[in-house]
Amino acid sequence: MSDIADTGPVLAADGTPLKRSLARALRVQKTRALLLIAPLLAFVLISFIWPIGVMLFRSVENEIVENTLPNTVKELATWDGGSQELPPQSAFEALYFDMFAATELKRHTRLGTRLNYEKTGISSLFRQSGRKLDDPGKDYRKALGAVTSDITKSATWLELISGASDAARSAPLVASQRQRLSTLDDRQIKGDLSFSPSADIVQLLPRAAREYTAFALYTELVDGKDVAKTKPWESVYVALAADLSDADVSGYNGPHAQMLRDLVAADVTAPDFRAIFTDIDKDWGALETWRTIQTHSKPYTSGYFLNAIDMQKTPEGAMAQPENKQILVKLFIRTLIMSLIIMGSCALLAYPVAWILANLPARKANILMIFVLLPFWTSLLVRTSAWKVMLQQQGVINDVLVWLGLVDDADRLIMINNQFGTIVAMTHILLPFMILPMYSVMQTINPSYLRAAKSLGATNWTAFWRVYFPQTIPGIGAGAILVFILSIGYYITPEIVGGTKGVFISNRIAYHISSSLNWGLAAALGTILLVVVLVLYWAYDKIVGIDNVKLG
Amino acid sequence: MAESKNNDAFVEFERVQKSYDGETLVVKDLNLTLPKGEFLTMLGPSGSGKTTCLMMLAGFETATHGDIRLDGVGINNIPPHKRGIGMVFQNYALFPHMTIAENLSFPLEVRKIGKSEREEKVKRALDMVEMGDFGGRRPAQLSGGQQQRVALSRALVFEPELVLMDEPLGALDKQLREKMQFEITNLAHSLGITTVYVTHDQTEALTMSDRVAVFDDGRIQQCAPPDQLYEEPDNSFVAQFIGENNTLLGTIKEIKGDQAVVQLDDGELIDCKPINVSKVGERTRVSIRPERVEFNKERLQPGAHTLKAEVLEFIYMGDIFRTRLRVAGNDEFIVKTRNAPDQVRLTPGTQVDIGWLPRDCRALDA
Ligand SMILES: Nc1ncnc2c1ncn2[C@@H]1O[C@H](COP(=O)(O)OP(=O)(O)O)[C@@H](O)[C@H]1O
Ligand SMILES: [Mg+2]
């Protein structure tokens, strides 16, 4: 009908389609706006989103087992943890060399601590085993040294592994060992090795070459020492003994070929890795130990989350923790219930205060507002400690009650170091967060609504309940959400006045972060807390509607 | 409107005073009587105490002194919710969390009226203001005019005998306001309810009311039907406040019955009707409506005084001509003449003689 309809797209003054020139104009605006908020955006991302991301990641991250015992984990992949048999010799062998390197780099205790979360005792098993892993190496050095003392010399080893000067070199071995140490040490090992193992010797003595290369990389590039003058790791002798038992050295004619032939001829018994470990500690012969390692060998685990809800990961799947270790769910529920009570008591106390604030003449309201805000100007610790003074058995309240004769001196009320203390102190501390949103909502309610209601025949109570109160719900909602969310993650006050019965889940999180160092569990607990808050927020949105929340 | 002749006082203010701060009187000696069914408007500049009077009647403020009676009963000690007075507020005060139907049903619920009867009354009240289809909406979903109608029907739904309205049309645009003025008066008269209406808009007051009480400085300056108020203002405040008005300052020269001669400040003499002046020699402010000034000598009384005037400006306004003159030193003297075929159009600069009937020219307090 109109001429616009049949002349195609509308054109701007300069002939470009109007849509495009509009988009260009808007893009400039958007870019400018984005640039203006860029610093804030960066700040929020770095200081807020990123740590939360890290926390979420930590709660499932479990690379430590695979990083520390890479070959053991590989060997265990084929072992049936449900069977009644110990893992094969190859697994013990892998464990020996993995453990040895980890011990040299002082990484084994970390893993021990990690696995100890799952099975108590593993921590000390790892620590002790680490200490005793040298012994078999020393025995073999003595035994082999008795055949030819050359083998105990550092220089001999370097010549042996380097091979003939014109021999082919094995670069992959250096790369793989560099990778192994880097993963283990959690940092890149940089620099070049002063020699490289010959391909022949790598083929002839794979274990010894491997362990020696690892030793050399560590000695030269981490410790900064000369391999030619440093005694090789004891594991190198164990590796050599193992290699000699199935090596054919007759055709070899590189450096020290004769020595190798002598050693083979001496027929030193090959190491029995299982016996080595069961000698160190009989727990290595227990299926439980191996099952624990296998169960938690995946780089990502649900174990922390299971622990967080009083369960554990076992080869048979998720199982409940033993009765005496089930505390976290109880603590979660307690935190929720106490937060609800705190929220409720805050709402009850704040409503009349907010009402008075909103209905007083401005000058008096300002003075009263100072009293409401006063707590913000006092240190949280001071306020909490003040409650300690008030509530303790020899404290102000008890003294007054005794003085009044309401309470017998012999059985003064216990009001601190329990849930009551936490609720009282937290209600006091969080009260302003309830009052302020309530006040700001009440302030906007025109007094003519109440007048209208009364003119329509409502009594004071009906006018309040049917007309005023419903309009304050957004303020109550906002205050309630604020107080609840603050309270559910509160730490300091429960820590000081909560005793053992009045602590929150956050105190447990703090314990795992700073005392037990089980950061994975702390992260899982934190994540659950976050999810609980989000779920409650979502539920609130469904029931009350988040648009109904007015913070100011 | 025959009922309004019924002179039984329905609402009575007797010597009512009000002070908020104990220092100044916001309402000073208010005496006012409304018969049943009357539509009375309180008109006055902002701050003159109109709302305060209304709030005292509704029970939200207590009179500092004096009696307020409703249907012969003193209501000073009756709480607002028992007075049974309908109210319309300037901001409508529709409860935002209730639908329109719930808003209307509220006064019925608190009166414990049964559900079916309630629904019927709500429907009837909404139909009355042509808002029958909007019962399910929330106030925020309605336009200003619609909210206004709902507020009105809510104030009427419980069938009060007295309705108070405090500048109910203040927030509406001009066209809507005129429409609503008409609807409100119609409704009030057809239902026979007594209405006290507050406004600061004089056109609204004049077009809607049976009587208008002009407030200033906490007092009623004049309370009279609109025509009387316009044509026979009792004092110079009312004369100035209502409609357009020419004033000339002078001194009373002589008074004879309802005729007075005033000497204007430039020495000229004019004939007036003395209103609230009584002594010879008293200063006076002479008031004359622009449409009562005559150029045509034939229309004047024989022997009437006339004044010389110079035409300063002539404005053609379609239906009327508006001429600005210099009269007795006053440059703002306005004359309005009807655009009739024989009407003269004065050109600026000409000298004319003007005059008026003495009864149209009122000598008021200075
Ligand atoms: N609640 C109150 N407290 C103190 N002074 C008030 C109050 N309400 C009104 N006043 C004062 O009383 C005077 C009359 O006010 P009001 O009755 O609202 O006038 P109007 O409605 O005619 O504009 C004004 O000076 C106003 O400042
Ligand atoms: Mg007012």
Which of the two residues, B299 and B212, has the higher pLDDT score? B212
The answer, yes or no, to whether any atom of ligand 1 lies below 6 A from the CB of B48, is: yes
Q: Which residues pair with B285 in a beta bridge?
A: B249, B364
Answer whether residue B5 is part of any domain.
no
Residues of B in Cβ contact (< 8 Å) with A467: 95, 106
Residue B250 and residue B179 share a domain? no
What is this structure's pTM?
Answer: 0.78
DSSP per position, B182-243: HHHHHHHHHHT-EEEEEES-HHHHHHH-SEEEEEETTEEEEEE-HHHHHHS-SSHHHHHHSS
Q: Which residues pair with B260 in a beta bridge?
A: B255, B272
Q: At a CB cut-off of 8 Å and minimum separation 6, what does A96 contact?
A: A133, A235, A238, A273, A276, A277
Last residue of a domain, one of B205, B236, B267: B236
Cα–Cα distance measured from residue A360 to residue A363, given in angstroms and rounded to the nearest whole number: 8
CB-CB neighbours of B157 under 10 Å? 23
CA-to-CA separations, A77 to A109, A285, A298, in angstroms, rounded:
23, 18, 10
Quickly state the pLDDT bin for A549 (edges 50, 70, 90): low
A108, A99 contact by CB (below 8 A): yes
CB-CB neighbours of A24 under 10 Å? 12
Q: Tens digit of pLDDT for each residue in A411-455?
A: 888 888 999 999 999 999 999 999 999 999 999 999 999 999 999
Q: Specify the pLDDT at position A548.
A: 65
Answer whether residue B146 is part of any domain.
yes
Is the pLDDT assigned to residue B343 strictly greater than 90? no
Residue B189 and residue B56 share a domain? yes
What does residue B305 show for φ and ψ, rounded to 5 degrees? Answer: -70, 145
User: What average pLDDT does range B139-152 have in this prediction?
Assistant: 93
> Which amino acid makes up residue A144?
L
Computed over its alpha carbons, how large is the radius of gyration of chain B?
25
Q: Specify the pLDDT at position B1.
A: 34
Answer whether residue B312 is part of any domain.
yes
| Interface contact A451, partner B, CB < 8 A | yes
Which domain CATH number covers B274?
A: 2.40.50.140
Residue B295 and residue B156 share a domain? no
Region for residue B167 given its phi and psi (left: phi exceeds 0; alpha: psi -120 to 50; beta: otherwise): left
Count of structural domains within chain B: 2
Region for residue A105 given its phi and psi (left: phi exceeds 0; alpha: psi -120 to 50; beta: otherwise): alpha
The answer, yes or no, to whether any atom of ligand 1 lies below 6 A from the CB of B199, is: no
Residue B228 and residue B260 share a domain? no
User: What average pLDDT does range A371-381 have in this prediction?
Assistant: 86
Q: Specify the pLDDT at position A277.
A: 93
Answer whether residue B129 is part of any domain.
yes
Is the pLDDT assigned to residue A3 strictly greater than 80? no
Q: Which of A141, A110, A139 is nearest to A127 (CA)?
A: A110
With pLDDT > 90 as the criterion, what percentage of chain A qualifies?
57
Answer whether residue B3 is part of any domain.
no
Residue B165 and residue B52 share a domain? yes
Q: Specify the pLDDT at position A4.
A: 47
Q: Tens digit of pLDDT for each residue in B163-213?
A: 999 999 988 888 889 999 999 999 999 999 999 999 999 999 999 999 999
Q: Do B110 and A459 touch (CB under 8 A)?
A: yes
With pLDDT > 70 as the criterion, what percentage of chain B qualifies?
98
Q: Which residue has the tokens 């039907």?
A: B225
Cα–Cα distance measured from residue A404 to residue A395, given in angstroms and rounded to the nearest whole number: 14
Q: Specify the pLDDT at position A1.
A: 44
Q: Tens digit of pLDDT for each residue in B300-315?
A: 777 777 888 999 999 9
Cα–Cα distance measured from residue A173 to residue B64, given in angstroms and rounded to the nearest whole number: 104
Residue B154 and residue B73 share a domain? yes
Q: Which of A165, A206, A212, A168 is nearest to A193 (CA)?
A: A212
Answer whether residue B6 is part of any domain.
no
- Ligand 1 centroid–CA A472 distance in Å is 27
Q: Which domain holds residue B338?
A: 244-365
Residue B264 and residue B207 share a domain? no
Residue B197 and residue B215 share a domain? yes
Q: Tens digit of pLDDT for each residue in A486-514?
A: 999 999 999 999 888 889 999 999 999 99
DSSP-derived pairing of the beta strands B73-74 and B65-70: antiparallel
B27, B49 contact by CB (below 8 A): yes
Q: Specify the pLDDT at position B307.
A: 86
Cα–Cα distance measured from residue A91 to residue A85, given in angstroms and rounded to the nearest whole number: 12
What's the half-sphere exposure (Cβ side, CA atoms, 13 Å) at A381? 0
Q: Do A459 and B81 touch (CB under 8 A)?
A: yes
User: Average model confidence (pLDDT) for chain A?
Assistant: 90
Last residue of a domain, one of B188, B216, B236: B236
Q: Which of A92, A121, A123, A120 is nearest to A109 (CA)?
A: A123
Cα–Cα distance measured from residue A438 to residue A550, given in angstroms and rounded to the nearest whole number: 8
DSSP 8-state secondary structure symbol assigned to residue B319: S
Is the pLDDT assigned to residue A551 strictly greater than 70? no
Domains, in order of start, for chain A: 22-58 (no CATH), 62-297 (no CATH), 328-548 (1.10.3720.10)
User: What average pLDDT does range A112-117 have in this prediction?
Assistant: 91
Residue B307 and residue B204 share a domain? no
Probe target for ligand 1 pocket from B20, B166, B200, B219, with the most ligand atoms within 8 Å of CB: B20
With pLDDT > 70 as the criterion, what percentage of chain A qualifies?
97
Is the pLDDT assigned to residue A164 strictly greater than 90? no
Identify the H or E element spanning B147: helix B144-157
Which domain CATH number covers B200?
A: 3.40.50.300
Residue B80 and residue B165 share a domain? yes
- Ligand 1 centroid–CA A76 distance in Å is 89
Residue B169 and residue B123 share a domain? yes
Q: Tens digit of pLDDT for each residue in B113-124?
A: 999 999 999 999
Helices (H) and strands (E) in chain A, counts: 29, 2
Last residue of a domain, one of B173, B206, B236: B236
- Ligand 2 centroid–CA B160 distance in Å is 22
User: What average pLDDT does range A468-478 have in this prediction?
Assistant: 91
Q: Which two tokens stand for residue A168?
A: 């082919």
Is the pLDDT assigned to residue A58 strictly greater than 50? yes
Quickly state the pLDDT bin for B360 (edges 50, 70, 90): confident
Residue B183 and residue B57 share a domain? yes
